[in-house]
Amino acid sequence: MKMTTCVNPDTLEVSSEILSIPICEGSSTGENIFNLIEAEFKAHKIPWENCLALGADNAPVMVGRDKGVYGHMSRKNPSIFMSEESASTSATAKEKTGRLKKLFASRTNQLICKFLVDALEPFDAINTELQSDASKIHVLQQRLEKLIKQLMVKFVQPAVFQRDGIFANLEKENLRQSSDIIIGKAAAEFIAQEKSKMKESRLSEFFDAARDFYVTSITYLRAKLPLKNDVYSHAAVINPANQLTCQFQSVEFFIKRFPVLLPPNASLHDLQLEFATYQCTDIASCIEERMDKTWASISRLTEGQEPIFKLLPQVMLHLLTIPHSSAHCERIFSLVRKNHSEFRSRLENSTMEALLIAKSRPGSAGDRDYSKEELSELKSAYHRSLKN
Q: Are residues 105 and 153 in the same domain?
A: yes
Q: CB count, 10 Å around CB of 374?
A: 11
pLDDT score at 11: 80
What tens digit of pLDDT does each residue of 259-274 get? 999 999 999 999 999 9
Please report which residue ranges of the chain form alpha helices under DSSP H: 30-43, 60-63, 69-76, 86-98, 109-119, 121-130, 140-152, 158-164, 185-194, 200-224, 230-234, 248-257, 268-279, 291-299, 312-319, 327-336, 349-360, 372-387
**Cβ distance 81 to 54 under 8 Å?**
yes
pLDDT score at 89: 56
Q: Are residues 216 and 98 in the same domain?
A: yes
pLDDT score at 115: 92
User: Which of 224, 247, 279 is the C-terminal boundary of a domain?
Assistant: 224
Q: CB count, 10 Å around CB of 103?
A: 13
Number of domains in the chain: 3
> Does residue 342 lie within any of the structural domains?
no
Q: Are residues 45 and 132 in the same domain?
A: no
Residue type, position 37, single letter = I
User: Which of 173, 194, 224 is the C-terminal boundary of a domain?
Assistant: 224
Q: Are residues 93 and 218 in the same domain?
A: yes
> Does residue 331 lie within any of the structural domains?
no
> Does residue 380 lie within any of the structural domains?
no
- Which residue, 387, 320, 375, is CA-closest to 55? 320
Q: Are residues 147 and 252 in the same domain?
A: no
> Does residue 377 lie within any of the structural domains?
no
Q: With a cut of 70, which residues of the chain have pLDDT below it?
A: 1-3, 84-107, 327-347, 359-360, 362-366, 388
Enclosing domain of residue 355: 1-84+348-364
- Residue 4: φ, ψ to 5°: -130, 140
Enter the DSSP assignment of 176. Answer: P
Dmax (CA) of the chain: 82
Q: Are residues 192 and 94 in the same domain?
A: yes
**Cβ distance 211 to 155 under 8 Å?**
yes
Cβ contacts of residue 159 below 8 Å, gap of 6+?
none
Q: Are residues 124 and 248 in the same domain?
A: no
- For 165, left (φ over 0), alpha (ψ -120 to 50), or beta? left
Q: Are residues 137 and 157 in the same domain?
A: yes
Q: Are residues 306 and 318 in the same domain?
A: yes
Enter the DSSP assignment of 91. Answer: H
Q: Tell me how far apart the alpha carbons of residues 211 and 213 are, in angstroms, rounded to a whole number.
A: 5
Q: Are residues 77 and 102 in the same domain?
A: no
> Does residue 375 lie within any of the structural domains?
no
- Which residue, 219, 225, 242, is CA-closest to 325? 225
Q: Are residues 38 and 13 in the same domain?
A: yes
> Does residue 37 lie within any of the structural domains?
yes
> Does residue 341 lie within any of the structural domains?
no
Q: Are residues 125 and 76 in the same domain?
A: no
Q: CB count, 10 Å around CB of 311?
A: 21
> Does residue 167 lie within any of the structural domains?
yes
What tens digit of pLDDT does each residue of 96-116 get? 555 555 554 456 788 888 999
